[in-house]
Amino acid sequence: MNAPVRRRLTLDVSDLPGVAFGHRNTTWLANVFFMVIEAMMFALMFATYFYLRTRSTDWPPGHLPPALQYGMANAVIFLVSVVPAWTVRKRAPEGDRRAVKNGLLVLTAFAVAATILRIFEFSTLNCRWSDDAYSSTVWVLIGMHSGHLVTELIETVVLLAISFTPKMEGTRLADAAINSDYWYFVVITGLIVDGLIYGTTRFL
């Protein structure tokens, strides 16, 4: 006689997709956490900037405010660069590899241009990091943002390189879309830093 047939309820997930875009993606969540960590670091540096402001009667103390030309040029680049980032973010879930590749190419060009301009920006801050606490804060603020800019440039270049291979599909497309989110973060923090070091030194 055969042994009794045993049954067990099951939840079959074989039809679930292997890739998720947007907030369902686990890397998207991790990226949000990374951005929160870095936003906290920026926020604490902003707090440091205003804290030190209360320790000085003049602001900037004995310096000319940073010259505007390179910083503003970079701000324009940041704003315009949102377009290719947005394109990549929109087209990646549609599986449009060509649009993603082109978007990453343009984004890389903007990131390179912003990095080069940033080098010139350092030379027109009208202070040196070792002059006083104000100068130290300005240099660290813009240095921190430069670190993010270069990190994002490298990440974009790596994704661009992948986009020239057949590996740019599935999770890599999701990564490209997440990379755009991070680029938005770099743009937003860049504009706030600009507002701080170019704006408050003139109007505060």
The residues of the shown chain that bind other proteins, judged by CB under 8 A, are 2-20, 24, 26, 29-30, 33-34, 36-38, 40-41, 44-45, 48, 51-52, 55-56, 61, 93-95, 129-137, 139-140, 154, 158, 162, 167, 169-173
- The DSSP line for 29-97 is HHHHHHHHHHHHHHHHHHHHHHHHHTT-SSSSTTSPPPPSHHHHHHHHHHHHHHHHHHHHHHHGGGT-H
Q: How far is the CB of 70 from other proteins (least distance, A)?
A: 21
**Cβ pair 174, 19 in contact under 8 A:** yes
Q: How far is the CB of 133 from other proteins (least distance, A)?
A: 4
Amino acid at 198: Y
Q: How far is the CB of 177 from other proteins (least distance, A)?
A: 12
Nearer to other proteins, 109 or 133 (CB): 133
Contacts of 155 (CB under 8 A, 6+ apart): 179, 182
| Owner of token pair 């343009």 | 106
Q: How far is the CB of 171 from other proteins (least distance, A)?
A: 7
Q: How far is the CB of 129 from other proteins (least distance, A)?
A: 6
Nearer to other proteins, 77 or 135 (CB): 135
Contacts of 60 (CB under 8 A, 6+ apart): 126, 127, 134, 135, 201
Nearer to other proteins, 61 or 188 (CB): 61
- Cis bond upstream, residue 66 (ω within 30): no
